[in-house]
Structure 1
Amino acid sequence: MEQEVQATPLLVKKEEGVCTITLNRPRVLNAMTVEMFALLQTSIAEAADDPEVEVLILRGAGGNFCSGADLTVLTALSEKDEADEALAVINDFIARLHQMPKPVIAVVEGVAVGAGLNLALHADFVIATTDAVLQEPFVQIGLTTDFGGTYLLPQLVGTAWAKRLALLGEKVSGQTAEQIGLIYRAVEPALIEQEVEALVAAVRRLPRQAYAVTKEGLGRCQFNGLEYALAWEKQQQPSLIAHPAFQSLVRAKMKRT
């Protein structure tokens, strides 16, 4: 009997300025292993540093995004040394993903649960199917929210909904997730690829430097008050005004008027 070949658990495809990272363990709904954490760390760092990559897409194989961490991860995290190493890797790639100056899009089909959901929520835009199932079941199994979920949820949906999701573990559909502000958009399953293509085209038309600076500003200023935000904007705006991309857009607009 031929031995079954183990599929690569993470697929990375770069094509025409778009890097797509696909979680590839469809038999277990793309549950993440410690090996995948290391692969995510490498691939996200490379996408951030590659000047040819304009947009990063995260998705899952086989009709699901991700069911969270594999049970083998819980075994690894029960040992202090292994836990410290694995959590350092997780924290590194989550921070890189969250702070990436390039547009990041997560495509959610099927289930996005626990760490899988929080991985997706670090994207700038989450597009889900209307029938997708999103859940934060950590407390139900005796754990606390991870992958930055405790930071993300109150920002995205406010305290009341954050408690419903994180403390009660309520499941929400993609449609409900859009309605409460958890994700960017929910679409019918047959339309999701069309929606992704349209969003990729839209963000690629934007000036890269302006996008990066604005994204950084949204992250920096939200907890530091209006005075900080005004000072930060004052520091950043002159360099963008002097940037060739802005000058070119202004000239083009003036010609049309």
Structure 2
Amino acid sequence: MEPSLIVAYHEGWTELTLNRPDRLNAFNEDLHRQLAAALDRTADDACRAVLLTGAGRGFCAGQDLGDRVQSDAPPDLGATIEAFYNPLVRRIRALRKPVVCAVNGVAAGAGANLALACDIVLAARSAKFIQAFSKIGLVPDSGGTFFLPRLIGDARARALAFLAEPLGAEKAEAWGLIWKAVDDASLMDEARALTTHLARQPTQGLALTKAALNASAGNTLDAQLDFERDAQREAGRTPDYREGVRAFMEKRQPTFTGRPA
């Protein structure tokens, strides 16, 4: 039986592929547990970047509705969110290294918002993002109501959430929802090249940058200035800062290790 998640280790980075292509990589409990465990393993210092993608013709269709226990009693969907989706988004945002997402096809419901939780999103030109929740009477979850208005503004966020219309990759790039739309045939090559590049950068500095950007949404300017001060103090004590300065002075490319000390 095929695993629900394919994990491939590269020099300095890890590729995670959602692998339920017959279900458009929709989440069941097994996929949730495997992805959570794999993300926890990427916290190791040997891994300096992560690439997340999907197998087959879609990235992720969100929740596998067939995986839910059917009964006459109303389901507690909040329990599923609390047990699986919220921890998943928190893991990705808290991971002290860049997470790249390669959206290779449809990203719907929680699948769309899983992509938006990542740090840099590339999408095949044929890919579509769909806030599908309103089609079945639900609310955008997995951070959708947080990410959407911050990335594309309130008016567009409301329309996508209410209408559940597909948003193509090129328009998603134009709106600022994702980093870049690329040709389908070159998606994985570009995504792997980008992840390889990030894995060779000053990992601690990127981790602190990620933390600062995460904190900014809830901070006042004064609080954010203090955060930047403290983060810069920590970054300035890393070996990669010293290497970066030496390389600049010596007019050569730096060789970063990603080590905290």
On whether the aligned pair clears a TM of 0.5, the verdict is yes
Match of 1:60 in 2: 54
Give deviations 1:81-117, integer Å, cap 9, x for gaps: x962663232222201122111101111121111111
Give the secondary-structure state (helix, strand or coil) at the position aligned to 1:7.
Answer: coil
Match of 1:139 in 2: 134
Judged with a 3 Å threshold, the aligned counterparts in structure 2 of structure 1 residues 218 and 164 are, in CA distance, closer, same or farther, namely same
Task: Give the number of aligned pairs.
Answer: 250
Q: Which segment drifts farther, 201-210 or 84-93? A: 84-93
Q: 1:248 aligns with which of 243, 247, 250?
A: 243
CA contact (8 A) 2:103 2:122 kept: yes
Match of 2:259 in 1: none
Q: Which segment drifts farther, 66-75 or 85-94? A: 85-94
Using the aligned pairs only, state the percent identity. Answer: 36
1:97 aligns with 2:78: no
Quick one: distance in 2 between partners of 1:151 and 1:75? 29
1:70 aligns with 2:70: no
Higher relative contact order (CA 8 A, sep 6+): 2
Q: 1:167 aligns with which of 155, 162, 167?
A: 162
Quick one: distance in 2 between partners of 1:108 and 1:170? 17
Give deviations 1:219-254, integer Å, cap 9, x for gaps: 112321211111111222123223221111111111
Match of 2:119 in 1: 124
CA contact (8 A) 1:127 1:183 kept: yes
Give the secondary-structure state (helix, strand or coil) at the position aligned to 1:65.
Answer: strand
Give the secondary-structure state (helix, strand or coil) at the position aligned to 1:138.
Answer: helix
Quick one: distance in 2 between partners of 1:97 and 1:76? 30
Moved over 3 A (4+): 73-80
Structure 1 unaligned runs (5+)?
1-5
Q: 1:8 aligns with which of 3, 15, 18?
A: 3
Quick one: distance in 1 between partners of 2:140 and 2:175? 19
Aligned-pair CA distance for 1:166 = 1.0
1:35 aligns with 2:16: no
Structure 2 unaligned runs (5+)?
253-261
Match of 1:238 in 2: 233
1:51 aligns with 2:45: yes
Aligned-pair CA distance for 1:215 = 0.6
Aligned-pair CA distance for 1:79 = 4.3
- TM-score relative to the length of structure 1: 0.90
CA contact (8 A) 1:56 1:103 kept: yes
Quick one: distance in 2 between partners of 1:221 and 1:60? 30
Report the AA paired with residue 26 of structure 1. P
Aligned-pair CA distance for 1:33 = 0.8
**RMSD value, Cα:** 2.0
- TM-score relative to the length of structure 2: 0.89
